[in-house]
Chain A
Amino acid sequence: MLPRYRRSLLISLAFLGGLAALDLILFPAGQVGVILLSGLYQGMLFFLVAAGLSIVFGLLDVLNMAQGSFFMLGAYLGFAVYGALPEGTPVTWRFLAALVAATVGGGLLGALVERSLIRPLYARPIFQIVLTLGLATVANEIVRAIYGPAGLIPITPPAALDTTISVLGGRFETYRLFIIGMGATLMALTLLLLHRTRLGIIIRAGVEDREMVEALGVPIGRVFTLTFALGCAIAALGGITAAPYIGAYPAMGDAFLLNAIIVVVLGGMSSFEGTAVASILVGLARASAEQVSLEYLGSPLLATVSILLIMILVLLVRPSGLFGSETS
């Protein structure tokens, strides 16, 4: 492992340890467990949106400001499929169908978007970002036009996931544990993809040196489309996974987009591992900070503002983040 990596990893672990210790000091033992778990839950949600953002930025040099929209569209698509299945289909099947449909739909839509809208603007990177902003607006408006601004009634997940259990001294919803599990699984799967498959090697090589990969004769265009589609699929899956708990509404993507950007900046804009680590750190830090802020200020304001300020600090002092490469 590169010495820089090792250093960043140590910093992360130290931060983690410090956070846990701080929580144990500040809060009663029963609460700490819940705080840590809810931090993990938040972190996983951020990761689900940030993963695609990071990979796409690393390879295509595009900051996809519509990433939050794919998150949202995944939720809506999943809900639609859930409700469209014939009467009498058991909930578990509906739920699985929703998950699959959202992922596949998100991926296909992402591929379409990349080929038709992002690819032509390769020579004008500023306008690529600007276009994704427009996409986010359009997606928001289309959903409003079809479903109205209020949002949908959350679907019912399978019974096994619909309870609360006692964990680490407090009560925690099983569904949120499911979200944590889903996030962790995707983290592992993506890491596997990146490090153990041919596509993954190409992606990682492309992130490092795009011209070289092109020179080696790899059809970089197809890889771009696949990568973009992958990022969108993960976001969409994240959306449908989260929606039964947080609901589905047009603006759900926006809040998560900002947090995803924070995570990607902190972790290192083109580093997937950095994004994974940073999302957990940010989630845990947020959960703790929100608790502190609530107790002392009566609102989570301090937490949200602090996290933004930390991101600004990192942006200015070390734009490559925790795990990013020096040259970007």
Chain B
Amino acid sequence: MSGPMADSRRRGLWSPGALLAGLALLAAPFLVAGFLGEGATFRMAAAAMICAEGYTPFVGAALGTWLLLGMAVLGARRVAGANGPLTALRNHGARLWILYLLLITPFLLAWATDSSACIRGKAFFWQSVFIETFILAILAASYNLMFGFSGVLSFGHAAFFGLGAYGVGLLMKHAGMDLVPAMVITIVASAVLGLMVSGIALRVHGLYFAIFTLAMAEILHLLAANRIFVDLTGAEDGFTFAVPDWINAASNRMTFYYLSLGLLILTFAVIYRLIYSPSGRVLAAVRDNEQRAQMLGFNTFTYKTLAIVLAGALGTMAGILRGLLNKGASPNVLGVGFTVDPLLMTIIGGTGTFDGPIVGAFLLRLAEQLLRDTVVSLGPWQVNIGERWALLLGVLFIASVLIFPKGIIGSLRFRSKLSASREDETM
């Protein structure tokens, strides 16, 4: 028997050992610069180098990151066996390339716009576009976990997103909490909400569940926007709150960039491991044919709850980032927009794929910004593509549902699956 047993050790690159090795390697230079030898001068020199304009910081970052990623991949060899890095590269090659590009993006932007990555300017602005994209990607991935991988349709995902922003803001502003405790409590609250939603409503038919979630999110939206709580929440205008300096996107945007990128990678890893775990396999079965899964012996309620709670927690994490980024929260984070957007991103990108939601997020935010000022003439009309981007996406969404049900990533995968049967994809 070849096949499944032989490559069961293939995920070496993503094994905990390899990840730790890679992280340690990445952190080492900073530890050296910060604490050893001429500490302060080193730090200042490093900072000056990173924040300089032009291509020097870019080249340094590009080479350095390449080196580190390479070492991480090779380090995975020990855990994975001889099979390890090559097969891992084959499976995750494109993702590693994109990860690499994203790691050096702030410097790439600085070079491309001839500005600094650390102070106000073009590169600085584009960093925030990327940050917003990462936040949306986390939100979309969380929705995809629930809908694409587990088959649970929800119209209330904005509730989790808004809970993140409002939760962390309210706790820090009115309860005087520090950042980390506020984040932890907000995520716990999100898990509680997820458990409540599952416990109360999972036993009704899927469509009714979706309507339930719509109502629940709307109730939270109404509560947040209402004048009764204006002292707490600022009602329709929302409220602002102070964030610790190191995560203040106005001054330390690069830190925020790497934080949100790191959380996106974490989200990806969590979802990836879950889907390839025994529980993840059950989720796939529940999505495909819930009744049959029950007949096999699975209490499907448990697994759907798992998906909802985890998706909710990840969505809340995205919301927390959003609140921290804007240093505030307003009722629209609880609005239908943040339920429709993840659905849109998921479907266009590819339901039930790992990369789909991320691609969708890039299309939603990044592409929109890139095309902000592109004007196209259609007959007698001048169309500003960036302004009409939502319309274009809507049309793309409809086309995806009708013609490309697998989305962008799904369709690409399908074509390659037909040409070369890759065992790991057909599960």
Contact = CB atoms under 8 A, between A and B. Distances in A.
Q: Indicate yes or no for A touching B, C-beta below 8 A.
A: yes
Interface of A: 63, 117, 120-121, 124, 126-127, 129-131, 133-135, 137-138, 141-142, 144-145, 254, 258, 261-262, 265, 297-299, 301, 304-305, 308-309, 311-312, 315-316, 319, 328
A316 B391 contact: no
Contacts of A265: 208, 211
Which of A121, A137, A309 has its CB near the most chain B CB atoms (within 10 A)?
A137
Contact of B402 (A131, A133, A144): A131
Given A297-B228, A311-B215, A316-B212, A141 B391 contact: yes
Given A126-B153, A129-B207, A130-B347, A315 B394 contact: no
B125 to A, nearest CB: 25
Contacts of A319: 204-205, 208
A131 B401 contact: yes
A312 B208 CA distance: 9
Contacts of A312: 212, 215-216
A315 B343 contact: no
Contact of A261 (B204, B211, B397, B405): B211
A311 B211 CA distance: 10
A5 B340 CA distance: 37
A133 B348 CA distance: 14
A134 B400 CA distance: 10
Contacts of A121: 401-402
Contact of A315 (B212, B347, B401, B402): B212
Contacts of A131: 398, 401-402
B209 to A, nearest CB: 9
B78 interface: no
Contacts of B228: 297-299, 301
- Listed from nearest, the 8 A-B pairs whose CB atoms lie closest are A141-B391, A138-B394, A134-B397, A137-B394, A131-B401, A134-B398, A301-B226, A308-B215
Contact of A127 (B216, B227, B401): B401
A145 B397 contact: no
Which of B212, B336, B347, B401 has its CB near the most chain A CB atoms (within 10 A)?
B401
A261 B55 CA distance: 57
Interface string B380-396: 00000000101101110
Contacts of B215: 262, 308, 311-312, 315
Contacts of A137: 340, 344, 390, 393-394, 397
Contacts of A301: 222-223, 226, 228
Nearest to B390: A141
25 contacts: A63-B207, A126-B206, A129-B153, A129-B207, A129-B210, A130-B153, A130-B343, A130-B347, A133-B340, A135-B398, A138-B391, A141-B388, A141-B391, A262-B215, A297-B228, A299-B226, A301-B223, A309-B219, A311-B211, A311-B215, A312-B212, A315-B201, A319-B204, A319-B208, A328-B205
Contacts of A124: 405
Nearest to B206: A126
B193 to A, nearest CB: 14
Interface residues of B, number: 37
Contacts of B393: 137
B355 interface: no
Contacts of A130: 153, 343, 347, 401
A254 to B, nearest CB: 7
A91 B223 CA distance: 43
B218 A308 contact: yes
Contacts of B214: 258, 261
Interface in B125-163: 153
Interface in B161-215: 200-201, 204-208, 210-212, 214-215
Interface of B: 153, 200-201, 204-208, 210-212, 214-216, 218-219, 222-223, 226-228, 336, 340, 343-344, 347, 388, 390-391, 393-395, 397-398, 401-402, 405
Contacts of B218: 258, 308
A299 B236 CA distance: 13
A138 B395 contact: yes
Contacts, number: 96
A134 B205 contact: no
Contacts of B397: 134, 137-138
A261 B218 CA distance: 13
B402 A117 contact: yes
B237 to A, nearest CB: 15
B207 to A, nearest CB: 6
A311 B216 CA distance: 10
Contact of B219 (A63, A134, A305): A305
A295 to B, nearest CB: 14
A298 B226 CA distance: 10
Contacts of B201: 315-316
Given A141-B390, A305-B219, A308-B219, A316 B336 contact: no
A130 B344 CA distance: 9
Given A126-B206, A137-B397, A312-B212, 13 more contacts: A63-B207, A124-B405, A131-B398, A131-B402, A137-B344, A141-B390, A254-B336, A258-B218, A265-B208, A299-B226, A308-B222, A315-B204, A328-B205
B379 to A, nearest CB: 15
B222 A142 contact: no
Contacts of A254: 336
Nearest to A265: B211
A134 B208 contact: no
A63 B206 CA distance: 12
Nearest to A310: B215
A299 B227 contact: yes
Contacts of B398: 117, 131, 134-135, 138
B123 to A, nearest CB: 31
Which of A127, A311, A328 has its CB near the most chain B CB atoms (within 10 A)?
A127
B418 to A, nearest CB: 21
A133 B155 CA distance: 10
Which of B153, B214, B215, B343 has its CB near the most chain A CB atoms (within 10 A)?
B215
Contacts of B223: 301, 305
A146 B300 CA distance: 48
Contacts of A309: 219
